[in-house]
């Protein structure tokens, strides 16, 4: 089928896709803006503060990986049951997700508050960065306790076509977080400058506001909120379906999350300048990929709704369209990365060596962007819509853990390769697996109705 025919006008498809994509992308953008605010504000205070908080934030990154796995199952099953308008099943899915995400949140809260030194030592051997990171984690860890719960509420809003409400809550709390960042990091209005502790406290306050607001919103008319009686009763059929989807997603997410975190660890062991440059690139990467993340989420729900209704042919057609959109998004992200390079050099105060590293990393990231966008939209969006979640784990085992991680580790600890060579090794996996992902797509194993 020709690309022009695939992308022909379809008001229902594009209307639904973009009504989901843009609020979710905006929400993702605002969340990334918090990390950007932390990095750039702390970068004005001290390079080491920025680097330490960037490394410490990798703990939350791993937590978010697990929480996102739970939210992905909510999207997979929720989208299909919403397509059937089965609200009772949706309520059960909501309760099951709360149990899992709360359990994960308690684990990360305990680690950050009581054992921060051990966690920071995983990412750097620089004593000064470990000390600063521990100060941040002891406060920010409390916010990790709240995140898992609030994300369940926001996920169910997106699935039930309340993405604008979820985006409103997230965007407003992000704006609050940025304002509190400026106030608590630099001080003012009688408040002393708290530096990294201020950044952590701003995060904690914002997450508390987000949770309270999400719970209150859930009691509005036609919104889904968890029934207390359902929270303590079991639905063995849905629990079985939930776990069946969750296990491969958790496996893939942990493969990806731990691998991605190890990349940060490798760069962190190359010195303070390398860590600082990587901190800036990480922030910009997360900002640029917001549209890609929004499209993946929107694709999963849009395709999942059709599969849940039993219209498998339309779900397949929508998938074909989204492949083309994925490539367009990838090339656009490459261009944006190139354009952002001079801007990032002008905004952040770095040493000459760190500036050199940053320029090279941005060039590598521009190429990586194509693979990241295509793979995210296909694997996390289209494949997940039909419950095809095992492929992600297999591809990560081969491309990330079989190629990228060993090469980057060897370059860091055995051969002492140049920082940019090590960084390029960490980007091999996404670009290298594009042909494999497209080949798997054409098997159409993801075209399934998962509802009972």
| Per-residue pLDDT tens digits for 230-284 | 667 777 888 888 888 888 888 888 788 788 778 888 888 888 888 888 888 887 8
Q: Are 62 and 261 in contact (CB under 8 A)?
A: yes
Q: Is the pLDDT of residue 37 over 80?
A: no
Mean pLDDT, the chain, integer: 84
The residues, any chain, with a CB within 8 Å of residue 375's CB and separated by 6 or more, are 430, 433, 434, 437
The pLDDT > 90 percentage for the chain reads: 19
Geometric angle at alpha carbon 22, from 343 and 31, rounded to 5°: 55
Q: Is the pLDDT of residue 331 over 80?
A: yes
**For residue range 140-181, what is the model confidence (pLDDT) as tens digits?**
888 888 888 898 898 888 888 788 888 889 888 888 988 888
Q: How far is CA 437 from the centre of its chain?
A: 20
Torsion sign (Cα): 300, 303, 308, 313: negative
Q: Which tokens is 306 given?
A: 């059709």
- Report pLDDT for 378: 94
| pLDDT (0 to 100) of residue 363 | 92
| Exposure string over 273-291, b if 16+ CB within 10 A, otherwise e | bbbbbbbbbbbbbbbbbbb
Continuous H helices in 312-404: 312-347, 352-375, 384-385, 390-395
Q: Are 283 and 51 in contact (CB under 8 A)?
A: no
- State what percent of residues in the chain have pLDDT above 70: 93
Q: How confident is the model at residue 2 (pLDDT cuts 50, 70, 90)?
A: low
Confidence check: pLDDT of 209 > 90: yes
- Count of beta carbons in the 10 Å neighbourhood of residue 238: 19
In whole angstroms, give the CA distance from residue 398 to residue 180: 43
CB-based burial label for 390 (10 Å; 0-12, 13-18, 19+)? middle
Q: How many CB atoms lie within 10 A of CB 220?
A: 10
Q: What is the pTM of this model?
A: 0.74
CA–CA separation, 96 and 90 (whole Å): 10
Centroid of chain to Cα 333: 16
pLDDT band at 32 (very low <50, low <70, confident <90, very high): low
Q: Which residue has tokens 């929508």?
A: 318
Q: How confident is the model at residue 336 (pLDDT cuts 50, 70, 90)?
A: very high
The H-assigned helical ranges of 187-289 are: 196-218, 228-232, 236-268, 272-288
What pLDDT is recorded for position 250?
A: 83
Lowest mean pLDDT among 187-196, 287-296, 373-382, 441-450: 187-196
Residue 340 has, within 13 A of its CA and on its CB side, a CA count of 22
């Amino acid at each position: 089928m020709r690309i022009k025919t695939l992308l022909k006008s379809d008001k229902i498809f594009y209307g639904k896709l973009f009504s989901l994509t843009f609020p979710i992308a905006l929400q993702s953008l605002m969340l990334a803006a918090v990390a950007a605010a932390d990095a750039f504000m702390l970068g004005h205070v001290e390079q080491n503060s920025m680097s330490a908080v960037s490394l410490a934030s990798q703990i939350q990154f791993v937590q978010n990986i697990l929480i996102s796995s739970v939210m992905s199952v909510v999207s997979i099953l929720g989208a299909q049951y919403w397509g059937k308008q089965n609200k009772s099943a949706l309520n059960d899915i909501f309760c099951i997700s709360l149990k899992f995400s709360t359990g994960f949140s308690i684990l990360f809260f305990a680690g950050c508050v009581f054992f921060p030194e051990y966690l920071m030592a995983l990412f750097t051997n620089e004593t000064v960065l470990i000390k600063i990171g521990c100060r941040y984690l002891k406060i920010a860890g409390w916010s990790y306790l709240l995140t898992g719960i609030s994300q369940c509420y926001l996920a169910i809003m997106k699935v039930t076509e309340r993405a604008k409400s979820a985006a409103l809550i997230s965007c407003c709390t992000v704006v609050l977080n940025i304002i509190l960042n400026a106030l608590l990091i630099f001080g003012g209005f009688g408040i002393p400058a708290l530096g990294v502790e201020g950044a952590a406290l701003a995060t904690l306050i914002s997450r508390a506001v987000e949770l309270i607001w999400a719970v209150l919103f859930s009691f509005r008319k036609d919104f889904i909120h968890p029934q207390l009686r359902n929270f303590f009763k079991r639905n063995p059929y849905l629990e079985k379906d939930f776990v069946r989807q969750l296990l491969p997603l958790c496996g893939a997410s942990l493969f990806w999350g731990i691998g991605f975190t190890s990349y940060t660890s490798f760069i962190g062991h190359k010195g303070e300048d390398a860590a600082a440059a990587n901190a800036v690139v990480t922030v910009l990467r997360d900002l640029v990929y917001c549209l890609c993340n929004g499209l993946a989420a929107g694709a999963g729900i849009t395709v999942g709704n059709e599969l849940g209704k039993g219209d498998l042919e339309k779900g397949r057609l929508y998938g074909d369209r989204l492949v083309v959109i994925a490539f367009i998004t990838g090339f656009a992200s490459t261009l944006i990365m190139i354009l952002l390079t001079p801007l990032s050099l002008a905004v952040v105060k770095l040493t000459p060596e760190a500036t050199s590293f940053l320029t090279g990393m941005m060039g590598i990231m521009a190429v990586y962007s194509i693979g990241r966008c295509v793979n995210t939209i296909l694997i996390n969006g289209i494949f997940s819509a039909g419950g095809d979640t095992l492929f992600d784990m297999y591809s990560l085992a081969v491309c990330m853990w079989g190629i990228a991680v060993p090469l980057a580790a060897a370059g860091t600890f055995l051969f002492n390769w140049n920082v940019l060579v090590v960084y390029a090794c960490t980007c091999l996996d996404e670009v290298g697996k594009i042909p494999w992902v497209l080949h798997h797509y054409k098997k159409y194993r993801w075209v399934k109705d998962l509802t009972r």
